[in-house]
Structure 1
């Protein structure tokens, strides 16, 4: 559609930013709902990110998503930061208020949990322990989501144990750190397995994990979405475990920002999934 002078504009800020699927995703929603608006890529080098964020109100933007490597730096540029973003230690969504102030939010935890509920509605947080592999930025969001959902025990494993210990100490809750060498033993009795590492991503080695000790009823999910079905998900599905791919988290985390900027609650549909998959 043709934009007018009253068009609502938002974007995605990163360095580089050409790989981001967010313009395609938000562009689909803008077209579907007939909104007078645009969502644009904003290539911002790290040494200019604070200035770029502070300039959003003057440029007339409603806000922006923030992707690597700017998520942590964005915390310092906001006038307000929501409690979830503070706990995760990163901002992925910026919202410009009517008075020109900027609020930083993090919707990754929401996106992760919304994806699980949408794809596997029978899964319940209270069903049993969760095993989380990895202790990077994505892991922080997953751990916050699982803690807030009421998972009774979270077994956290990372190749660098000290990083996992630090993360558990910062977040608190039902997180129990286990040695990486015990990752298969940690699967016993689990109701959920989450891979937040890059192992299994295109160009990376597959996750070295045998699933024999994992109950066949346990839900298995991988935040990687290239490829959509990682070796972990393929192995889990072959033995009968329910699975959730990583694309859902990407799609659902975008919903709150779109609503804040464009005034429409968007839906994640099979048609949207197919449209985004075409670009992967």
Structure 2
């Protein structure tokens, strides 16, 4: 029931009508018996500051931030967490008592959550990241937390890749795995893939509307001989599975899609907003899956 005491949390982005976050978060709020409701707020870039000021004025308890505002909102925060500063991106806003917003990024925590279930596999292993766009920042920062020996990052534009790696190297620990630049050239990539235990796709290839029904990052030929010992992690979750993950499953690979990252980053945000550790991740996942299945039916 929504009453006069119900507080609001929500999502800022454009577009947001497709988002699974409201269903996911409201399932958790109901299980937690919190008198809050999570709403999706479409917001254009030129309105972002006004929307943030207005939501704080009416007592909003927290906000998720998605495309295309994750970088722009950094400059509108009164405080930033060290991780948000390092990534140059914010996806979680918490109101400050003295006014303004604290900006944090839970994408790295969300990305790492399923990998931590296989923690022993990453000791001394190599990983490959495909793409160096915005979502890849949290991915690489997360991989730097694992006991890997090398992280190979493949990008299409050498200048953009160099800037990306310099940013991530600046904040890495002394014991972090080295970051190695690679092109999208299939021949050297194939050699690296043969000895890697984890491959992460951060590109949109394979998503509905990107490249056709059977599209895979860098084409299907590169993956024809993928070994069953490799874990394939695709940040995409529509369709489910993506053609790339479907091929990996046929080859016996362990596969992870982006739905778990979405759920886990959302749970991390809700823990921050509520100050509670008992966020029901299972209910969030079930709510997201129900909504996703309805939309894909």
Indicate if the aligned counterparts of 1:201 and 1:230 stay in contact, CA closer than 8 A.
yes
Determine the C-alpha separation between the residues in 2 that align with 1:76 and 1:124.
39
Determine the C-alpha separation between the residues in 1 that align with 2:161 and 2:138.
14
Unaligned runs of 5+ in 1: none
Determine the C-alpha separation between the residues in 1 that align with 2:257 and 2:150.
23
SS in 1 for 2:38: strand
CA deviations 1:24-73 (Å, max 9, x no partner) are 11111011122111111212111011222233321211120011111111
Please point out which of 237, 241, 245 is paired with 2:249.
237
Alignment of 1:31-46 (within 5 A): 31-46=30-45
Range moving further from structure 2, 66-75 or 236-245: 236-245
The aligned counterpart of 1:154 is 151
Indicate if the aligned counterparts of 1:21 and 1:276 stay in contact, CA closer than 8 A.
yes
Range moving further from structure 2, 74-83 or 47-56: 47-56
Indicate if the aligned counterparts of 2:124 and 2:147 stay in contact, CA closer than 8 A.
no
Unaligned runs of 5+ in 2: 173-177, 293-297
* 2:235 is the counterpart of 1:258: no
Equivalent pairs counted in the alignment come to: 276
The aligned counterpart of 1:190 is 196
Determine the C-alpha separation between the residues in 1 that align with 2:100 and 2:139.
28
The aligned counterpart of 2:104 is 105
Alignment of 1:60-79 (within 5 A): 60-79=59-78
Indicate if the aligned counterparts of 1:8 and 1:261 stay in contact, CA closer than 8 A.
no
Alignment of 1:1-280 (within 5 A): 1-5=1-5, 7-117=6-116, 120-121=117-118, 124-172=121-169, 173=172, 174-181=178-185, 182-205=188-211, 206-207=215-216, 208-209=219-220, 210-211=222-223, 214-265=226-277, 266-269=279-282, 272-280=284-292
Range moving further from structure 2, 98-107 or 22-31: 98-107
Shift of 1:123: 5.0
TM-score, normalised with respect to structure 1: 0.92
Determine the C-alpha separation between the residues in 1 that align with 2:162 and 2:226.
24
TM-score, normalised with respect to structure 2: 0.87
CA root-mean-square deviation: 1.8
SS in 1 for 2:223: coil
